Amino acid sequence: MTEQEIAQLQVELATYKAGYEAQRKILASIFPERFNGYFICGASTEVDAMGLPDIIQVCPQYGADGFATYKKHTEYSAPGW
């Protein structure tokens, strides 16, 4: 296997890992009982122009009887190019 092929495989692996982690976070929010770790368990009905809630509730793990509340402190921003 050439160095170029190895480099290409490393790039593909990094891309795969990033996609896997993103999908894992989505699935953990949908099925918190099947994953360890925190998940968003609620949100305020007040939203901004992008549809983002002003407040979210985060549960530390499935089965916990409480949550932490987080308030948005900046608006959505995107690169200006």
CA distances from 53 to 36, 47, 62 (A): 24, 4, 22
pLDDT at 35: 79
C-alpha radius of gyration, the chain, whole number: 18
Q: Does residue 77 belong to any structural domain of this protein?
A: no
Is the entire prediction scored with pTM above 0.85?
no
> What is the number of structural domains in the chain?
1
Q: Does residue 16 belong to any structural domain of this protein?
A: yes
Q: 57 near 69, Cβ under 8 Å?
A: yes
Q: How many CB atoms lie within 10 A of CB 10?
A: 10
Beta bridge partners of 57: 42, 69
pLDDT at 8: 93
3-47 pLDDT per residue, tens: 999 999 999 999 998 888 888 888 887 888 887 788 888 999 989
Full residue range of the structural domain in which residue 15 is found:
3-71
